[in-house]
């Protein structure tokens, strides 16, 4: 194994920017086929983007969170579904880095490996000699059709009948995929259902969720001193995945201004939409909301990077604030898209126009249970009022 040196942020972001046109070229195909196009997948792999959360010793980059969010935002500028899928694969690689080193040796034998997964404990892992017997059904597994491994959230059943949440990593070949991803938005993410039926999983591939992954602790000796694996899972995951929303809002802005010079306001005296005061108010509002979305992602990422560097412990309020930053980024980005979509006129609803897809994708993103602005706001408010968070995903 060769220790690699991570490319600088500007390099990786430039690689992502270079993929935007290829991604846009295949956006319609991806939505129709509900998976990423092979050329897009190959481009992401060749650019080294799948290595951002892979340990250095396997040829990965261990990029900081600021870099990762900037890269994913650029990919989502091409197609929000691509940004979202890569964000979930990126977090899958990070989760793998929490497991014992012998498990990582197997997973990262290919440093461009793709790991899907989710946070809903939809299965039972019953302890047995040398491991667990896994049964369950997991929905919304983004990127599953192109993944080699699945990181599954489960309830771990001990011999005495007690239960605790855990994460299990399983080869996709051990699972059944159900192609049930027929949705209004984020269609190209391939977020299908995966099923395990009496699958034996060795103990080394079972990671207790509390207190390990929720508080930046892990079972890896080789990653013990790496800043990359000293992050709380939820604040980290939400910062990374919410960056897709920023890219979607940027794409909406580009789509709007591309059409603006040739657009009039129907049934009015405005032959040029750009001359109308309402347009000035709309584009200003959309721009400010996009700025706010970028601020929240940037603040969340910088908090994660700085605390990992300093080694400071996270307070409950800091973890809640990080999750709130991510939710507000999604909400403000959606509001920015909504304004521009409203200003885009009836022609924007044609299927070959990107605005209608961006609007549907960002709506779908805001319905994600972990990022849902209303749910996250309540949790944040509870903590500010001195109450328990009412969720373990914090």
263-291 tens-digit pLDDT: 999 999 999 999 999 999 999 999 999 99
Give CA angle at 74 (68, 76), nearest 5°: 100
Poorest-pLDDT segment among 35-39, 295-299, 308-312: 308-312
Percent of the chain with pLDDT over 90: 92
Q: What is the pLDDT of residues 156-188, one digit of tens each?
A: 999 999 999 999 999 999 999 999 999 999 999
- pTM of the entire predicted model: 0.95
pLDDT at res. 392: 86
Mean confidence (pLDDT) of the chain: 95
What is the pLDDT confidence band of residue 1, given thresholds at 50, 70 and 90? very low
Q: How far is CA 256 from CA 259, 273, 347, in A?
A: 6, 11, 12
**Given phi > 0 = left and psi -120 to 50 = alpha, else beta, which region is 355?**
alpha
Segment 91-99 shows an average pLDDT of 96
Distance CA 146, CA 292 (A): 34
Distance CA 122, CA 137 (A): 6
Q: Among 143, 54, 144, 51, which residue's Cα sits nearest to residue 96?
A: 54
Strands 163-171 and 206-208 turn out to be antiparallel
**Given phi > 0 = left and psi -120 to 50 = alpha, else beta, which region is 200?**
beta
Residues, the chain, total? Answer: 394
């Amino acid at each position: 194994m060769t220790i690699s040196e991570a490319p600088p942020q500007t390099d990786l972001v430039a690689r992502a920017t270079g993929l935007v046109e290829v991604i846009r070229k295949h956006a319609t195909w991806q939505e129709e086929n509900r998976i990423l196009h092979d050329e897009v997948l190959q481009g992401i792999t060749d650019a080294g983007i799948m290595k951002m959360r892979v340990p250095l010793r396997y040829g990965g980059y261990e990029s900081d969170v600021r870099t990762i969010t900037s890269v994913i935002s650029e990919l989502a500028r091409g197609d929000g579904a691509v940004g979202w899928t890569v964000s979930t694969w990126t977090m899958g690689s990070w989760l793998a880095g929490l497991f014992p080193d012998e498990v990582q040796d197997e997973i990262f034998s290919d440093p461009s490996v793709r790991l899907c997964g989710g946070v809903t404990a939809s299965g039972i892992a019953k302890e047995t000699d040398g491991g667990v017997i896994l049964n369950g059904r997991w929905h919304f597994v983004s990127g599953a059709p192109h993944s080699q491994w699945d990181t599954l959230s489960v309830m771990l059943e001990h011999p005495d009948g007690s239960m605790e949440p855990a994460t299990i990593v399983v080869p996709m070949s051990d699972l059944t995929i159900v192609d049930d991803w027929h949705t209004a938005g984020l269609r190209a993410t391939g977020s299908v259902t995966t099923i395990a039926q009496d699958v034996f999983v060795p103990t080394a591939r079972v990671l207790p969720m509390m207190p390990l992954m929720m508080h930046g602790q892990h079972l890896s000796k080789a990653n013990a001193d790496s800043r990359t694996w000293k992050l709380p899972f939820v604040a980290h995951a939400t910062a990374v995945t919410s960056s897709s929303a920023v890219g979607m809002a940027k794409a909406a802005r580009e789509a709007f201004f591309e059409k603006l010079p040739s657009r009039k306001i129907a049934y009015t005296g405005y032959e040029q939409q750009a001359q109308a005061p309402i347009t000035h108010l709309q584009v200003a509002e959309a721009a400010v909301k996009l700025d706010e979305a970028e601020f929240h992602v940037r603040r969340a990422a910088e908090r994660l990077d700085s605390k990992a560097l300093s080694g400071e412990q996270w307070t409950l309020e800091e973890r809640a604030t990080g999750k709130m930053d991510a939710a507000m980024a999604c909400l403000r980005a959606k509001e920015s898209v909504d304004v521009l979509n409203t200003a885009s006129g009836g022609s924007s609803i044609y299927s070959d126009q990107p605005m209608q897809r961006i609007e549907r994708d960002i709506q779908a993103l805001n319905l994600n249970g972990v990022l849902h602005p209303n749910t996250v706001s309540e949790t944040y408010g509870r903590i500010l009022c001195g109450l328990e968070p009412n969720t373990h995903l914090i």
